[in-house]
């Protein structure tokens, strides 16, 4: 395709035809010439929005773009309603690339019960690979909005699933041939399939219903970054047992292969939670089918400490995600 806005005939057959999921809240949605979206909320509902680009992956980016945005909304305890989607393609991209991306986005939206409300598609020489940016729109009942800043000293810290799921899956897909020079195909295949565990929608909505003080989905910077951000936002200290943080063997193997730290690897699929009753929250999550682990406590003051046996180390502000070391 040539540089500029995607032609109307391409837009209709490769974009609009892929949009099948509809929500009753959306009054004005995707259409040729429509620059805005509109939705109706009830008087006791709050509008919640989030935005994120996908820049660290090229495989299955449509699916990943929706998951990341839905996860952000879930971290606020919000039910996702729709997304606004921007797709930027390199010059001379084939139409089939756009159609495949939209098919992935549409399938992910249907799975999450989310409508594509609008967006923009363009071919441009300012990108050298497909770039997707998604704005998510959701709703939450008044009084049920959850933030990263709600933690108080003396609360339990939990996390769901395992660290590094997203980063492990991306690396396994993008670097499969290289990994297979040293690792068994079974490990690489299982790692690639970690993308089936990246949604935290059930995690977030279950925690919000149970009663959670603070939530934060574990994305760039990994679990260490997420812990720091919760402590910083809530102005509390914390102490976390490193051995309590769950990690898959496939993640360990792939991180050792590239000499990167799994605790600082992008980890969509895991939700960090802080609440008064950690055991009760853990039980509620497991009843909803979500694996959860209590990993530490919040403390008075500002010390954010990771403990391993008799060794104590202080957390630092998040640095560049380990994923970028693999693709630099």
Tens digits of residue pLDDT in 71-100: 999 999 999 999 999 999 999 999 999 999
Number of domains in the chain: 2
Q: Give me 98's structure tokens.
A: 């756009």
Say what the alpha-carbon torsion angle 293, 297, 298, 303 is, to the nearest 10 degrees.
Answer: -110
Beta bridge partners of 169: none
pLDDT digit string, tens, across residues 44-70? 999 999 998 888 777 889 998 999 999
CB 134 within 8 A of CB 72: no
Mean pLDDT within 182-204: 96
Q: Tell me: do 187 and 282 sit in the same domain.
A: yes
In angstroms, the CA 267 to CA 167 distance is 6
pLDDT digit string, tens, across residues 258-273? 999 999 999 999 999 9
Q: Tell me: do 307 and 181 sit in the same domain.
A: yes
Q: Tell me: do 277 and 236 sit in the same domain.
A: yes
Residue 146 lies in a domain: no
Q: How confident is the model at residue 35 (pLDDT cuts 50, 70, 90)?
A: low
Q: Tell me: do 279 and 306 sit in the same domain.
A: yes
Question: Sign of torsion, CA 64 66 67 73?
Answer: positive
pLDDT score at 55: 80
pLDDT score at 54: 85
Domain interval for residue 108: 4-141
* Boundary residue ending a domain (141, 170, 186): 141
Q: How confident is the model at residue 34 (pLDDT cuts 50, 70, 90)?
A: low
- Percentages (nearest 5) of helix, strand, coil residues in the chain: 40, 25, 35
* pTM of the predicted structure, to 2 decimals: 0.84
Q: How far is CA 269 from CA 6, 153, 196, 200, 218, in A?
A: 33, 26, 9, 6, 7
Q: Tell me: do 18 and 115 sit in the same domain.
A: yes
pLDDT score at 263: 97
In angstroms, the CA 133 to CA 84 distance is 8
Q: Tell me: do 188 and 319 sit in the same domain.
A: yes
């Amino acid at each position: 395709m040539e540089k500029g806005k995607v032609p109307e005939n391409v837009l209709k057959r490769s974009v609009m035809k892929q949009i099948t999921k509809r929500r009753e809240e959306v009054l004005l949605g995707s259409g040729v010439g429509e620059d805005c979206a509109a939705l109706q909320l009830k008087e006791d509902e709050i509008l919640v929005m989030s935005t994120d680009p996908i820049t660290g992956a090229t495989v299955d980016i449509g699916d990943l773009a929706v998951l990341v945005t839905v996860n952000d909304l879930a971290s606020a305890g919000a039910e996702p309603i729709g997304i606004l989607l921007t797709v930027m393609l390199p010059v001379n991209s084939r139409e089939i690339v756009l159609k495949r991306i939209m098919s992935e986005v549409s399938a992910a939206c249907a799975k999450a019960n989310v409508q594509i409300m609008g967006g923009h598609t363009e071919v441009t020489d300012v990108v050298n690979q497909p770039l997707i940016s998604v704005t998510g729109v959701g709703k939450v009942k008044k009084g049920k909005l959850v933030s990263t800043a709600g933690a108080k000293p003396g609360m339990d810290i939990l996390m769901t699933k395992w660290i590094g799921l997203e980063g492990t899956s991306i690396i396994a897909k993008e670097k499969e041939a290289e990994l297979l020079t040293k690792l068994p195909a079974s490990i690489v295949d299982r790692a690639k399939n970690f993308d089936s565990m990246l949604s935290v929608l059930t995690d977030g909505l279950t925690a919000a219903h149970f009663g959670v003080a603070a939530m934060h989905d574990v994305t760039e910077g990994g679990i260490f970054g997420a812990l720091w951000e919760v402590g910083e936002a809530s102005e509390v200290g914390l102490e976390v047992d490193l051995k309590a943080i769950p990690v898959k063997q496939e993640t360990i193997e792939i991180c050792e292969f590239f000499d990167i730290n799994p605790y600082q690897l992008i980890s969509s699929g895991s939700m960090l939670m802080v609440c008064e009753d950690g055991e009760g929250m853990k039980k509620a999550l497991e009843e909803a089918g979500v694996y959860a682990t209590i990993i530490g406590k919040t403390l008075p003051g500002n010390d954010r400490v990771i403990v391993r046996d008799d060794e104590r180390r202080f957390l630092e502000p998040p640095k560049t995600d380990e994923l970028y070391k693999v693709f630099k």
